[in-house]
Chains A and B, each alone.
Chain A
Amino acid sequence: MEQLLSQVFVGLSIGSILLLVALGLTFTFGQMGVINMAHGEFIMAGAYTTYVVQQALGDGAVSTAFLLSLPVALVVAGTMGLALEVLLIRRLYDRPLDTLLVTWGVALVLQQAARDIFGAQNVEVKSPSWLNGGTELLGVGVAYNRLFIMGLAVVTTAGAWYVVSRMKQGRRMRAVMQNRQLAAASGIGTTSVDRRTFFLGSGLAGVAGVAITQLGSVGPTLGQSYIVDAFLVVIAGGLGKLRGAVIAAVVLGLCNSLIEYWTEASLAKVIVFVLIVAFLQVRPQGIVAQQTRGLA
């Protein structure tokens, strides 16, 4: 029983990381239909931002540096995303498959740039003292850094939800997503909405990057290890739906850890993939489907 509980905790922890990473994608991929393969590199940028801020503030202010890097990473990654949108993606809105390849090229360049700037060796980000150690919940050992990531996932998701469903900006985003022409005709500047959406989506990747520094060292290929899973979350969850992404991330996290518990890690990955394909047979639109009369 305790074993099972601890697997559930691990699953929730994996789920919260997936959610953090996929949250930005629900904006860029889900809302705008842009497959940004450089999303993983924005995560990496967020992680390196944490490292840089920490180096700049010195050893005395590890805590402050960590908290400060959350907004800084949001802006850094967001700005990178904005630049990407303005320079390249804007030209490719009607060619989604090509966007995928172009942004992959961007990802390669960013990876090599990180390697040239920070070195091929991974760098270590120090943890604030309050994230070291752990406690016991229901007889299960729980690490503080995992708890923090869960908390951060909840907070960011709530923030994203608030922006999308309560703020004017979010209403415009939804309008553009549901019917671009009609939104434009109603006086919404779709270009500027696109840019803001992209800024927000990419910025969220940066925030995820900050959280991920607490799980291990930071290297140029950090983003690669998360990107595939993150896209799966968005596909399984349903496009552009926060609710779907949350459910999908948690379910995938739990599936991963529980199947791992029965079999082993490498088989679990394959089984989870098969489950996703099987699930898409039943609901090709994902968990939360957008109502549409289109043929898509």
Chain B
Amino acid sequence: MTTDPTTAAGASEGAPAPTPAERLRRPLVGERSDAAARVSFVLVAFLLIVVAPASLSAFRLDLLAKYLVFAIVAVGIALAWGRGGMLVLGQGLFFGLGGYAMAMHLQLADTPDGQQPMFMSLTGATDLPGLWEPFRSPVFALGMVVLLPMAVAALLGLLIFRSRVRGPYFAILTQALAAAFVILLVGQQNYTGGTNGLTVMTFFGLDLADEGDKRTLYFVIVGILAAVFLLARQLVRSRYGRLLVAVRDGEDRVRFLGYSPTTVKVVAFSVAAGFAGIAGALFVPVVGIISPTSLGVVPSIEMLIWVAVGGRLSLVGAIAGAVLVNWAKTEFSEAVPTGWLYLQGALFILVVAFAPRGLAGAFDWLREQRERLRERRPSAKRTTAEEGA
């Protein structure tokens, strides 16, 4: 049934195969040497913090903020899918949990004392549902933004992975859950505002109609994206990160070694869900509304194409993919309104089928070619060997 990985890992002809110890010390695909990574990190940070706010119009900066919010989801997906091999088709659920937790608080905060929050005027209900009461507290709401998605993911992951349901089955189950969640949101409109969703006006004292305040929000988002990225990078590079990749490539072997693959997978799935929750919470002030249309099956699966285009193995790739694909979507939809679905479909087909490592893979390929050229020169052989060590 399973293919034997030992044959796949056969040594390349000619060059002596690296010993297992050597191979372990080498950076994994998608990692760069530290110096280069730091330089590019600073460069990108400079672009996002100085150049973009100075050169983009308020409207474009707002769009960029939205793309960066999506990039936060993408980092989580790269972790769970790229590193952990779990195809998470239901990130919209976690995005929505975070988003609704935030929107409930913000809408209550927008409401003057003694008045009803906006969503209730649409449904005609008179009493605030008890579910809403705790969300008056900003601390509770912010906690829920992260903890609720993580808890739901941990519970679901534990149940699914424990019974060794994996691969496509896991994917379908997460997708079904996202679908059920949207139906629930629409159906329980007395609690959620139904298809209209929840609209917000302010974000912790920031006026969302004000250009300056929106700019502040943009900086907040850049900061949170950086934090999320660094956290994910730390996870990927840790011992745990190696274990996660090992579970992806040979779950049974990891189990035989005495680790619990269930725990390893639950952690990655849960962290990815937490990131999606944070992104959902930031999506609310950027767009001003959260509604079921941005969380269902279709948006959830769209999140995967961002990561696929950028390169599922690379966190940087995932961020770049999220920004690029969404930027292309905006530009393309403005130019040819009906064409985007064709283009998006083509992206799914071509990237996933023929370039599964995405943009990051293209860069890796270029680097590999360069290194191979360098290795051919006998004088350089010594230095590359040292670099690898």
Across the interface, which residues of B come within 8 angstroms of A273, CB to CB?
176-177, 180
Interface of A is mostly: helix
Closest to B163 in A: A284
Asked if A5 is at the interface (CB within 8 A of a chain B CB), the reply is no
- The answer to whether A109 touches B3 (Cβ under 8 A) is no
Which chain B residues in 164-178 approach chain A with CB under 8 Å?
Answer: 164-165, 167-169, 171-173, 175-177
- The answer to whether B168 touches A96 (Cβ under 8 A) is yes
Closest to B356 in A: A98
- The answer to whether B353 touches A88 (Cβ under 8 A) is yes
Bound: A175/B186 CA distance, A: 46
Asked if A73 is at the interface (CB within 8 A of a chain B CB), the reply is no
Asked if A139 is at the interface (CB within 8 A of a chain B CB), the reply is no
**Taking the nearest CB of chain B, how far is it from the CB of A221, in angstroms?**
9
- The answer to whether A112 touches B345 (Cβ under 8 A) is yes
List the count of A-B residue pairs having beta carbons below 8 Å apart: 129
**Taking the nearest CB of chain B, how far is it from the CB of A179, in angstroms?**
9
Bound: A273/B173 CA distance, A: 8
Given contacts A35-B168, A115-B338, A228-B175, contact A266 B188 (CB under 8 A): yes
The CB with the most chain A CB atoms within 10 A, among B85, B160, B342, B352, is that of B352
**Taking the nearest CB of chain A, how far is it from the CB of B261, in angstroms?**
12
**Taking the nearest CB of chain B, how far is it from the CB of A78, in angstroms?**
21
Across the interface, which residues of B come within 8 angstroms of A112, CB to CB?
338, 341-342, 345
- The answer to whether A104 touches B353 (Cβ under 8 A) is no
Q: Which of A88, A96, A276 has a CB less than 8 Å from the CB of B349?
A: A88
**Taking the nearest CB of chain A, how far is it from the CB of B79, in angstroms?**
16
Across the interface, which residues of B come within 8 angstroms of A104, CB to CB?
301, 348
Asked if A100 is at the interface (CB within 8 A of a chain B CB), the reply is yes
Interface size class of A (residues with CB under 8 A): 35 or more
Closest to B81 in A: A97
The CB with the most chain B CB atoms within 10 A, among A105, A106, A111, is that of A105
- The answer to whether B346 touches A284 (Cβ under 8 A) is no
Given contacts A228-B175, A284-B164, contact A101 B308 (CB under 8 A): yes
Bound: A61/B348 CA distance, A: 42
Bound: A272/B179 CA distance, A: 12
Asked if A166 is at the interface (CB within 8 A of a chain B CB), the reply is no
Residue tally, chain B, CB below 8 Å to A = 49
Closest to A263 in B: B187
Asked if A92 is at the interface (CB within 8 A of a chain B CB), the reply is yes
Closest to B87 in A: A97
Bound: A272/B159 CA distance, A: 16
- The answer to whether A281 touches B176 (Cβ under 8 A) is no
Asked if A289 is at the interface (CB within 8 A of a chain B CB), the reply is no
- The answer to whether A102 touches B1 (Cβ under 8 A) is no
- The answer to whether B160 touches A280 (Cβ under 8 A) is yes
- The answer to whether B345 touches A109 (Cβ under 8 A) is yes
Bound: A264/B188 CA distance, A: 10
- The answer to whether B297 touches A224 (Cβ under 8 A) is yes
Asked if A232 is at the interface (CB within 8 A of a chain B CB), the reply is yes
Bound: A101/B176 CA distance, A: 16
Q: Which of A109, A115, A266 has a CB less than 8 Å from the CB of B346?
A: A109
Across the interface, which residues of B come within 8 angstroms of A235, CB to CB?
169, 172-173
Q: Which of A116, A228, A266 has a CB less than 8 Å from the CB of B184?
A: A266
Across the interface, which residues of B come within 8 angstroms of A68, CB to CB?
none
- The answer to whether A277 touches B180 (Cβ under 8 A) is no
Known: A232-B176, A265-B183. 6 other contacts (CB 8 A): A35-B168, A101-B87, A101-B305, A108-B341, A266-B186, A267-B188
Please name the 10 residue pairs, one residue from A and one from B, whose CB atoms are nearest each other, closest first: A266-B187, A105-B348, A108-B345, A109-B345, A112-B341, A105-B349, A284-B163, A105-B345, A101-B352, A97-B87
